Amino acid sequence: MFSANLLLRKANSQIRTHRPREQEGWRYTIREQQVTLDPRPSSPRTLTYIFFRSFGCRYDRAGECTMCNYAWAERVDADSIIEAVREALGQRDSYDAVGISPLGNMFDPVEVPVKAREAIFDMAAASDASIFSCESRPETFDEAAIAEAVARLGGKRFFINLGLEAAHPWVQANCVGKSLDPDQFCRATAALRRNGAFPISNVLLGAPFLTEDEAIDSAAFTVRWALENGSHLCVLFPSNVKAWTLQEWLWERDAYRPPSLWSLVEALHRLGPEVTRSVVLSWYSTTPDDPRRKAQVSDPLRQAPTTCTACRDDIVSALGIFNSGGDFGIIEQLRRSPCACRSAWQAMLEAEARSAPPLMERVMQGYDRIGREMLNGWWEPRREQLRDELAVGYDGVVMR
- Main-chain dihedrals φ then ψ at residue 239, nearest 5 degrees: -70, 130
The whole-number pLDDT of residue 70 equals 81
Which residues on adjacent β-strands are paired with residue 201? 162, 234
Q: pLDDT band for 288, please (50, 70, 90 cuts).
A: confident
Mean pLDDT of 35-51: 95
Which residues on adjacent β-strands are paired with residue 135? 161
Q: pLDDT band for 293, please (50, 70, 90 cuts).
A: low
Q: pLDDT band for 290, please (50, 70, 90 cuts).
A: low
| Pairwise pLDDT comparison (292 vs 312), residue with the higher score | 312
Dihedral of alpha carbons 332, 338, 342, 343, sign: positive
Residue 1 has pLDDT above 70, yes or no: no
Contact 156, 131 (CB under 8 A): yes
Residue 291 has pLDDT above 70, yes or no: no
User: Mean pLDDT across the chain, nearest whole number?
Assistant: 94
Rounded to whole angstroms, the Cα distance separating 367 from 388 reads: 13
Mean pLDDT of 253-282: 97
| Pairwise pLDDT comparison (322 vs 23), residue with the higher score | 322
Q: pLDDT band for 298, please (50, 70, 90 cuts).
A: low
Contact 227, 275 (CB under 8 A): yes
Residue 396 has pLDDT above 80, yes or no: no
Q: Which domains does the chain have, with CATH numbers?
A: 23-356 (3.20.20.70), 357-400 (no CATH)
User: For residue range 343-382, what is the model confidence (pLDDT) as tens digits?
Assistant: 999 999 999 999 999 999 999 999 999 999 999 999 999 9
Comparing C-alpha atoms, which of 46, 36, 397 is closest to residue 236? 36
Least confident of 185-194, 294-303, 346-355: 294-303
Rounded to whole angstroms, the Cα distance separating 155 from 135 reads: 19
The whole-number pLDDT of residue 82 equals 98
The whole-number pLDDT of residue 72 equals 87
Contact 161, 51 (CB under 8 A): no
pTM of the shown model: 0.96
Residue 296 has pLDDT above 70, yes or no: no
Rounded to 10°, the helix 340-355/261-275 angle is 90
Residue 53 has pLDDT above 70, yes or no: yes
Residue 270 has pLDDT above 70, yes or no: yes
Residue 210 has pLDDT above 60, yes or no: yes
| Pairwise pLDDT comparison (372 vs 181), residue with the higher score | 372
Comparing C-alpha atoms, which of 94, 102, 111 is closest to residue 48? 94
Rounded to whole angstroms, the Cα distance separating 43 from 6 reads: 44
Contact 99, 140 (CB under 8 A): no
